[in-house]
Amino acid sequence: MALLTYALVLLMLCSALAVQLSAPRLGEGIARISVAASAITFALAVVLFSWRLGTGDTPLLSIGLGLFSLYVDALSTLMAVLVSAVGLVVHVFSVRYMQDDPAYTRFFVLLDVIIGVILLMVLAGDLLTLLLGWHLLGVCLYFLLNHDTRRPAANRFAFWTLFTHRVGDLPLLAAIALIYHAYGTLSLPAVFEAVAAEPDKATLLGLPLAETLGLLVLLAAFAKSAQFPLHTWLPYTMDGPTPVSALMHAGIVNAGGFLINRFAPVFAETQSVLLLAFAVGLITTIMGALMMLMQSDIKKALGYSTMGQMGYMVMECGVGAFSLAIYHLIAHGVFKATLFLGSGAIIANARKDPNIPEGEIYKFMVERKVPHPPLSWVVFAGITITVPLLIVLAAHQLVDEGFLHHQGALILLLFGWITGAQTLFFVYKIGGERPFSVLLYVALSFAAVILTYVLVGHAFDALLYPDPALREALYRAASVNATTFALVLVLLMVLISAGWLVVFRSEAAQQPLTRRFRELHLRLYALLSREFYVADFYSRLAEQMLAASRRLNAWLRWV
Amino acid sequence: MGGLLGSMLALPCFVLAGLCLPLFPLSVGVNRLLQRQPTRAGDRLAQPGTKALVLVTLPLVGVTLLAAGRWLAADDGGWLVRGFALWGGLTSLLYAFRLLSARDGQIWIGQLYTSALALVWVGVAHDVPPLLPALGLALSLLPLWFLLDGLTRRFGIARTGLYPGLALRMPRFAALFIVAVLVAVAVPFSPGFFAIADLAFGGVGANALLTLLPLSLAWLLWTWAGINLLAGIVFGEPRVDLDYADLDGRAVLGHAGGMMCLALFGLVLVERML
């Protein structure tokens, strides 16, 4: 098994070397080497995952050095399957997509290297190897995004990406240094045992060690997973080739969720740091969703959509639903890779034929005709508010009767409810001839999604965190005072319901809120169109720093 | 030795070491030397080989002087070493910040050398043996030094922005240049990376903030500066009015072999560290 695991990591790196060496002889035929290596890697990952599933063992493999140990547990093998699957799809897609590109060989070399590096990162058995993979990931991505070396925009946004990733490397380095000092080991299983044995250990500054480590790990994850305000690199990096966008949005950006899960035993010993993950994830989700709505470019809209999804993933960790975050990142990876790889063809086809079927959506979206509401707004508002709530409650009740004890589950339930209600509101807004049929289809689809989500979420819980005590500890670490929580939850539900009622009423009266509060709406629109000035702020700050550096150098005569 | 007398005697040793493991403003000397232009024919100090030798030997001299200073100060020199560590951290940050606007290759290397080697002081204050980190950080600069010298010989000057787009005109050189810049800014598997890790792991036990803050910020700024260097030389639209000559196979093998040796040295550093 050790040989198989090391082969899994090394195969793509060897493929990169083989591609580079055989390029003069094979030309574009080098893609065959790369795709074959990618397919074998995927097969090896599946074998390793199945082996782990069958035996339940979690061996720590080593080659006798302090570095390069590999840890074969459920999380690492599952992530290896995801990474190698996305890698295979991207490889196969790139064979034709990148044809006639002058840097065809370089592209495949870098693609192979980055897959190898990600596999090293997810399978790392010691913290230094994890740091190596974490760090090299940003570097490889920089060169892939800079594929067209002539374009200043590609270079500029690749720099943003690398710099943000490097910002995320620093807290991880600090966390690892603190761990090494506190426990004298870098081996992951040994560190987790030590943290569990001494949960109350403090740092030199007197801060609780677990809490400090949790905070540092979160900061590292925020940068890699494009959490607000470290998100600017993600939506702007569309100058890279489409397969790179797919890889980035389906795989690389998930690294933050992986890292938080990797350190789950540390988070189980924390008191309040997961609240930060919840807050940052929530802000990122809202920001990403809002900014996605402002985009006219399909790839940039997908970029902001990823940002919102990553926010949701981090938020799931923030409420203690760690395994759900892994399911989310896998599901998101699959659909986002599909969307990115299909976006080019959709743009090309839409130029010839918009292909929007005639009907309610066409009238609403293209002709901008707002039909009369199909039902009394009171009835529809009642359906919108109650049906999704019943569906999410029933789905949870069916799978886990004790879910009401977990604050995190209730928060996710709240979000499920809001999402369902939003979808039903859209049905009301577009009107149509057969509103009840559409309503029924939407409700059934929603029920199917929620039920799958809950079922698979529980299966992932059993797979990734088979120890119920650890699961409970994670939920506990993410909890707040029960009374406060209940009050806030009820208040939120009342506020949201009232909000829906106001929106329905204004829509029914043909007086949308955007018209009534026009001034505020325009201001918000302007703010959103400049994306809250975050990117502008960073650009200005960078310019100021460079100017200050030049002045200082001139003053000190460059010596 | 030890006591007040020992500390007083250690002070000049540390100041002299501050010339080699540069502390601002003592760092002016080494930076002037690395930027030196030939004043007459056969000016040996201005030769690239001599400067490369200086890059490697100065840290060794600095570490020896440091050891002598520490022996003289014995257990009573803690305050002195901590003071020098603070000085080292500030020097490193100062030069890392200045590095952001450096466009000339020799200035760039000189400022990175100063920023990197000043960090050794941070480790010394926390009992991290300085020899291997100092060597690791200094050796990491050598590949870039020789490639920048190659640019000077080809184009008359090694400076960003003058001849961009080498990735398209000199792909072999550009590939090696990229790796050399990455090695210089302490990306894994360069010895610089493991030297940073060594200093961080060793020093964090004594003072987490004073160790990690200068190390992290300097490392971050090096990356930014490294990207600036690449953006002005490797990337961009190439000029059509220049003659380009890429490296031949032997030169590529030589440079690549040297970098592989550095990676192996990095692994030695790790094994010693853990």
In chain A, what residues touch B234 (CB-CB under 8 Å)?
149
Give the residues across from B104 on adjacent strands: B159
Using the structure block, give the residue that is written with the tokens 């040796």: B261
Q: DSSP letter at A466?
A: -
Chain segment B237-273, per-residue pLDDT in tens: 999 998 888 999 899 999 999 999 988 888 888 877 7
Domain ranges for chain A = 372-516, 520-559
Residue A39, number of CB atoms within 10 A of its CB: 15
Least Cα separation, residue A74 to chain B (angstroms): 27
Cβ B208–A174 below 8 Å, yes or no? Answer: yes
Peptide bond into B189 cis (omega under 30): yes
In chain B, what residues touch A69 (CB-CB under 8 Å)?
none
Cβ B273–A66 below 8 Å, yes or no? Answer: yes
- Dist CA B91 CA B115 (whole Å): 7
Q: From A177, which residue of chain B is nearest by alpha-carbon distance?
A: B201
- Dist CA B250 CA A555 (whole Å): 43
Q: From A555, which residue of chain B is nearest by alpha-carbon distance?
A: B98
Query: Any idea what the Cα angle at residue A203 is, between residues A199 and A205, rounded to 5°?
Result: 145
Is A235:A253 a contact under the CB 8 Å cutoff? no
- CB half-sphere exposure, A320, CA atoms < 13 A: 26
Q: What is the residue-wise DSSP string for A487-519?
A: HHHHHHHHHHHHHHHHHHHHHHTT--HHHHTHH
Cβ A546–B101 below 8 Å, yes or no? Answer: yes
- Dist CA B205 CA A181 (whole Å): 6
pLDDT band at B62 (very low <50, low <70, confident <90, very high): very high
Burial class (CB in 10 A: 0-12, 13-18, 19+), B7: buried
In chain A, what residues touch B168 (CB-CB under 8 Å)?
149-150
pLDDT of residue B86: 92
In chain B, what residues touch A559 (CB-CB under 8 Å)?
27-28, 31-32, 35, 110
**Nearest-by-Cβ selection for B220 from A142, A167, A549:** A167
- Dist CA A261 CA A471 (whole Å): 12
Average pLDDT over chain B, rounded to an integer: 90
pLDDT of residue A355: 64
B234 φ, ψ to 5°?
A: -85, -45
Is the ipTM reported for this complex over the cut 0.85? yes
Say if residue B177's pLDDT is above 80.
yes
Cβ A205–B209 below 8 Å, yes or no? Answer: yes
Count A/B contacts: CB-CB distance under 8 Å: 118
Least Cα separation, residue A159 to chain B (angstroms): 7
Cβ B28–A163 below 8 Å, yes or no? Answer: no
pLDDT 10s digit of each residue in chain A, 559 long? 889 999 999 999 999 999 999 988 888 889 999 999 999 999 999 999 999 999 988 889 988 887 899 999 999 999 999 999 999 999 999 999 898 888 999 999 999 999 999 999 999 999 999 999 999 999 999 999 999 999 888 899 899 999 999 999 999 999 999 999 899 899 999 999 999 998 888 876 778 899 999 999 999 999 999 999 999 888 877 777 888 988 888 888 999 999 999 999 999 999 889 999 999 999 999 899 888 888 878 888 888 889 999 999 999 999 888 998 999 899 888 888 888 888 877 777 777 776 666 666 666 666 666 666 556 777 777 888 888 888 888 887 777 766 667 777 778 788 888 888 877 777 777 766 677 777 888 889 888 888 888 888 888 888 999 998 998 899 889 888 888 888 988 898 889 888 888 887 887 777 878 888 889 989 988 888 888 899 999 999 999 999 999 999 999 999 8
- For the segment B204-230, the average pLDDT, to the nearest whole number, is 91
In chain A, what residues touch B209 (CB-CB under 8 Å)?
205
